[in-house]
Structure 1
Amino acid sequence: MTTRPENIPSKIRQNTYTHGHHESVLRSHRSRTAENSAAYLLPRLAAGQSLLDVGCGPGTITADLAERVAPGTVTAVEITAEALSLAQEEIASRGIDNVRFAVADVHALDFPDDTFDVVHAHQVLQHVADPVLALKEMRRVCKPGGVIAARDGDYGGFRWFPEVPALDEWLRLYQALATSNGGHPDAGRRLRSWALEAGFPEDAITTGASSWVYATPAERQWWADLWAERTTKSSTGTQYVEKGLAYVEDLDAVAAGWHSWADKHDGWFNVVHGEIVCVA
């Protein structure tokens, strides 16, 4: 068992969510399901379990997990009430009644030790200031013998075809921005290392990877539209300019590159994710 951290410096608790909550971001996040985003965890779930969903976002994965553990309960947490309201709306629209909600910081979760059977975080650790501390907290609130599961993208492992120079620039810009915000855009490859540093024994960690692939005309168009809009219309685009990483004209060129890639009949894009399941 780990001990709940006390008096954590405020600078450690400051998480900057690089993506923001523009419609183009939410459109992407709402496409996520337990099947396409948490398949590695599903064999570990059973009816009656209690589950903590850290950084639940708009709640589509949360809802699927709640259906799988019912009549057990899911506690969905987000860093702000505004962000949490997105999940509350999704859960209400689906008529699911076994989800509770709380505003919480993963660096200092306001739950007693040994509370949950399962603690889950999807695309969270890449954004937090201290992923090791986050995993320690996730372990603390997990019951002995329970599981902690995390899945994160690894931007350095993203691959696409054909080569489009504007997408190289997109990746460079995103990695620079995420890093400047205290994030870890290569989190996927670091999950096992972070878990070891957090105190999990080697034999308690199961490591894997999976990917999303966009290759059909419809998939390419959808993926390109998301990133073109994020680059030029969301708070991400604003941050690029405010931090001096790019001019508006540069962002327009990146967006055009996304559309150019989507128009390639042989276009292919692979989004790779690292995954860990750790036994508490």
Structure 2
Amino acid sequence: MAESAVRKQVYTTDHSSAVLRTHSWRTLANSAAYVIPHLRPGMTVLDVGCGPGSLTVDLAKRVAPEGGKVVGIDYVADPLDSARQNAVDQEVTNVEFKVGDIHALEFPDESFDLVHAHQVLQHIADPVQGLREMRRVTKRGGIVALRESAAMSWYPESEGISAWWNLFQRMGKEKGGNLEPGRYVHVWAQEAGFERDSITCSAGSWCFASREEREYIGGTFAERMLSSGFATAAVEGGFATEEELAKISASWRAFVNDDNGWLGILHGELICRK
């Protein structure tokens, strides 16, 4: 990938084991249910920012009859071996994974019936350019489907989790990211060339309240504070010390162990018709 393309990526973490576990939890049912009514057998689909491929493989299952095919791309190769293994484990053969840059997609115009991205635009420096490219490779009459986080809330109040959220925001802004864009992603879509009346907005959410759910989300964030690209970047960039990260990690563990712990994330969703 060209150096200029790499510089446009502003992802604040890496693809550590903790991050991959988080992304592998995502399915169409819990993270992209708004897309399901628009899927049909035989479709060609591009999944941008596929990560370890859990959503990509789900998409491939839905379109598999009648020759449907899905391509998943990510800006680095790190998660793609996991994605390929995921497809093998589930005996899904109508999917392929490759490295690709959302700012300059290596596909001809009008290649796909549906182009999908889940929490990708918030991590790139030029989301409108990314959307232009997603629109370009979508067929006439096709769909671009987007989901981006819009807001986060938790209980009980926690100094450590508040410190984590402030750290996440500071690092994201420093790298040129776009925090919580789900509330205005439809504006980006119009700047990328979609007419307002061709855009359908909706909202989705995640809720983590059971012991299992808290262990999944809180345990993952606790681990990321101690060992991940995010932790390394936080310390090396002077955003936090190792001691501060350890305190944040302990706060996430306290959240896991609190039977009244609750975390909610609101997402903005778009179906954009070309």
Asked whether the two chains share a fold, i.e. TM above 0.5, the reply is: yes
Taking structure 2 as the reference length, the TM-score comes to 0.94
What is the alpha-carbon distance in structure 2 between the residues aligned to residue 12 and residue 145 of structure 1?
Answer: 32
Question: What displacement does 1:9 show?
Answer: 9.3
Instruction: Name the counterpart of 2:113.
Output: 117
2:190 paired residue number: 196
The answer as to 2:138 corresponding to 1:137 is no
Measured on the aligned residues, the alpha-carbon RMSD in Å equals 1.6
- In 2, are the aligned partners of 1:215 and 1:267 still within 8 Å (CA)? yes
TM-score (norm 1): 0.92
Query: 1:75 is matched by which residue type in structure 2?
Result: V
Which structure 2 residue ranges, 5 or more long, are not aligned? none
Aligned mates of 2:70, 2:3 — CA distance in 1 = 29
**Whole-angstrom distance in 2 between the partners of 1:259 and 1:161:** 14
> Match for 2:246 among 245, 252, 256?
252
CA deviation vs aligned residue, 1:64-110 (integer Å, no higher than 9, x gap) = 10010113110111112333222112112222111123321010001
Structure 2 Cα separation of the partners of residues 59 and 44 of structure 1: 20
With 194-203 and 80-89 compared, the bigger mean Cα shift is at: 80-89
**1:101 is matched with which residue: 89, 97, 120?**
97
SS at match of 1:82: coil
What's the CA shift string for 1:139-168, capped at 9, x where partnerless? Answer: 0000011000011123xx100111111111
Tell me the alpha carbon deviations over residues 9-51 of structure 1, each in whole angstroms, 9 at most, x when there is no partner.
Answer: 9268521322211111111111111111110011000001100
Q: Pick from 129, 146, 149: which aligns with 1:150?
A: 146
Give the partner amino acid of 2:198: A
- Alignment partners' CA distance in 2, 1:117 and 1:109: 15
- Would the aligned equivalents of 1:13 and 1:105 in 2 still touch at CA under 8 Å? no
CA distance in 1, matches of 2:158, 2:7: 38
Number of residues of Structure 1 aligned to a counterpart in Structure 2: 271
Residue aligning to 1:85: 81
Percent identity of paired positions between Structure 1 and Structure 2? 44
Structure 1 range deviating more: 225-234 or 183-192: 183-192
Q: 1:68 is matched by which residue type in structure 2?
A: R
Moved segments of 4+, more than 3 Å: none
* Structure 1 residue runs without a partner (length 5+): 1-7
**Equivalent residues of 1:191, 1:274 under 8 A apart:** yes
